[in-house]
Homo-oligomer: A and B are copies of this chain.
Amino acid sequence: MIERYSRAPMRALWSDQARYETWLEVELAVCSEMERLGRVPVGTAEQVRAKVAIDPERVQRIEERVRHDVIAFLTHLEEQVGEPARWLHLGLTSSDVLDSAFALQLGRAGALLLEALDGLLQALARRAAETRHLPMVGRSHGIHAEPTAVGLVFAGAYAELGRQRRRLVNALEEVAVGKIAGAVGVYGNVSPEVEAGALAALGLAPETCATQVVARDRHAAFFAALGQLASSLERLAQQVRHWQRTEVGEAYEPFGRGQKGSSAMPHKRNPILTENVCGLARLVRSAVIPALENVALWHERDISHSSVERVLAPDVTTLVDFMLYRMTQVISGLELDEGRLAANLALSGGLIYSEAVLLALIGKGLARQSAYELVQRCALATQAGAGAFRTLLGQDAEIARALSPAEIDACFDVEHHLRFVDVIYQRVFVDGAVATTLPRAEGAE
């Protein structure tokens, strides 16, 4: 985890202190359940809870000697609790504690991520509402194609991030699974009854068929979901970068007062927030393969996955959280330049209506390939500087034979292209509205 790209709540969640507290939660949930079942003296968990103050540095000092993190932790408890400590960890293996606690931490990280994602969804809905009918030239291959609306970029991102949200919710459900099943998962010295009660108290389901650990395909699914989410954030960020490039100039990231663009060039206003998000997406994406490599542990488990998860779980959740907030800031503060939007729409001299002309010709009975060649002829001439596309079409004898000047003019109509935008909005924001954790934003109908 790198402080520069992190927010405080997520950092806190992954601190040593928080980790040990979560382990204690699991130990106490098991202990309480055993009390309930009469296997441990009533009141033990409460006693322990009262006597223990976690000191991460002390645990680490013990670990240097015993070279085992959970044993160090238990020794730390025993030091403070004394005799009743023998009722802790009864029949448990380390992974019972570690995996159940990890599930709790991932769940809490997930809640922060969903909240962050919902903020971005709301910002997108708001900006989409504002720009629903604002025309923009659509581009495929970086080349002007046909007219579209600015709002559809936000709407498309809303729909895509809504899908990513569903994938994340599914993945979070899959990792909300703990395990209190002993050394090889057969409840050798513990029981399914204890597991069921303890995990229920923690809000977790038991692993269907554990080994020493919860199966790692669950965690792989979680990291895969984050890799996917990051890639969609990259897509949106890249859109902003393209918008902001000098020759396009249709939209700009927010730029703070006092902000400086370049140490050498005082005129620069660079899309650094979205470039940053694109870089971070590479990092998040790269975590997917190690997480997949973690699945095939040896026999009932080996511990090779542990270091991978110690690094990736904090790093990746933190980065995605940061990316989500950064993109919310960018989308909320994005400055649109309507003048440039209009100018770019006009830039090709009407070439963006070429398909309409093509279809009009076909409608008059021309074969597709013949019509195509007529229109391409005028288009290439326009591109070569021979004149405006509309003019050249009018001067083309073969075209004139098929289409009247009025029929040609009718092809050059932005409004015609945007006539179904409301239908799309209905699908995105009404039929496909995302149920978020936040109160609904006004802009989002």
B279–A283 CB distance below 8 A: no
Assembled-state Cα–Cα distance A111/B215 (Å): 26
B264–A142 CB distance below 8 A: no
A142 partner, pick from B75, B246, B290, beta carbons under 8 A:
B246
The distance from the CB of A15 to the nearest CB of chain B, in whole angstroms, is 12
Q: Which residues of B contact A351 (CB under 8 A)?
A: 267
Q: Which residues of B contact A352 (CB under 8 A)?
A: 265, 267
A209 partner, pick from B65, B228, B428, beta carbons under 8 A:
B428
Scan residues 267-290 of chain A and give those whose CB is less than 8 A from a CB of chain B: 267-272, 275-276, 278-283, 285-290
Main secondary structure of the interface of A (DSSP, over half): helix
Scan residues 181-196 of chain A and give those whose CB is less than 8 A from a CB of chain B: 182-189, 191-192
Residue of B nearest to A247 (CB): B247
Q: Which residues of B contact A86 (CB under 8 A)?
A: 362, 365-368, 371
Q: Which residues of B contact A261 (CB under 8 A)?
A: 68, 143
| Size of A's binding interface in residues, CB under 8 A | 173
A88 partner, pick from B2, B147, B282, B368, beta carbons under 8 A:
B368
A66–B259 CB distance below 8 A: yes
The distance from the CB of A83 to the nearest CB of chain B, in whole angstroms, is 7
The distance from the CB of A302 to the nearest CB of chain B, in whole angstroms, is 5
B-contacting 9-mer, from A47-55, A232-240, A401-409? A232-240
A185–B283 CB distance below 8 A: no
A427–B183 CB distance below 8 A: no
B263–A276 CB distance below 8 A: no
